[in-house]
Amino acid sequence: MRRGSWLAGILVAAVAAVAGTSVPATAQPAAPAPQVKPEMTESCPGLVASRPQPTPAALRLAALAADQVRLTYAGHSTFLIESPQLVRIATDYNDWVKPPIVPDIATMNHAHSTHFTNRPDPSIKFVLRGWREDGRPAGHDISYKDVRVRSISTNIRDWAGGTEKNGNAIFVFEIANMCIAHLGHLHHTLTQQQMNDIGRIDVVMAPVDGSMTLDLDGMVEVLQGLKAQMVIPMHSFSSYTLDRFLARMQKDFAITSNETPSILVSKTTLPAKPTVMVLPGR
């Protein structure tokens, strides 16, 4: 997407946030997404090329209503989440795909270098890694202003084909009376205990590539179990894998899309029927 149209979309989202209205679709069609190499190639040139441009300072001050959360998809597995008190959270914060501003809180996972960094911006207040070097669960549970962030650990496949215990974390963000979950680089279906620990979810961000993370059948099972009203796909790499996921979900979920990478969500405006919301980007 060209810089001008991207910024125009964000401006519309910011103005709508102040006015408390929904975001209208823009007339500018989305440009084709850049081709992205598999994430095991450490260079990820496609991800660098699709990095959003910096957001003007005026947009950073846009207020949200007390029950609203703004979600902006930066690409791959990175979202910028903004609370009513303008706490900024970046998910799977890394060196390749970055949000338009420095967040207050950065969450990470370490299955691949496109999901973490060893050089986070020093001004980030909370850097939450979804793993520990000793293999124990990350066990995060922090509160900052109007946001609570907690983690639920899952296992990942290691490079030798075995299992790395507690190598991934599902992060749950409690904001504006909503629970928003980011599944990270999930590799397996969830146990009942993990489902209990996650609890009620309103919005979930799910990797849908079907190969490097959990296979398609398993991901659909997880999402059906979580019963979130809104599912936002991420980590799809291509239109083919995204369309394959949508085809499986359309039996039980409504399918919709947004012209801009930002949406406003609130408890009162969540869709009545469980819905997959597709945001531009891969």
| Digit-coded pLDDT (tens) for 256-279 | 999 999 999 999 999 999 999 999
pLDDT of 18 higher than 70: no
pLDDT of residue 40: 31
Give 149-165 pLDDT, tens digit per residue. 999 999 998 877 789 99
What does each C-alpha distance from 15 to 9, 58, 95, 217 come to in angstroms? 10, 11, 30, 40
Give 59-112 pLDDT, tens digit per residue. 444 689 999 999 999 999 999 999 999 999 999 999 999 898 999 999 999 888
pTM for this structure?
Answer: 0.78
Name the amino acid, one letter, at 149: V
- The single residue listed with the structure tokens 């300072």 is 57
Which pLDDT band holds residue 46 (cuts at 50, 70, 90)?
A: very low
- CATH classification of 3-278 is 3.60.15.10, yes or no? yes
pLDDT of residue 153: 98
Give 167-202 pLDDT, tens digit per residue. 999 999 999 999 999 999 999 999 999 999 999 999
Helices 239-249 and 216-226 cross at an angle (nearest 10°) of 50
Average pLDDT over residues 34-40: 39
d(CA 147, CA 128): 14
The average confidence (pLDDT) of the chain is 83
Which pLDDT band holds residue 53 (cuts at 50, 70, 90)?
A: very low
- Residue 237 burial (C-beta neighbours within 10 Å; 0-12, 13-18, 19+): buried
| CA triple 211-214-220, angle to 5 deg | 115
Q: How many CB atoms lie within 10 A of CB 128?
A: 21
The domain segmentation of the chain, as residue ranges, is: 3-278
Enclosing H/E stretch for 111: none
d(CA 60, CA 104): 13
- For 191, the 3-state DSSP assignment is coil
Which pLDDT band holds residue 137 (cuts at 50, 70, 90)?
A: very high
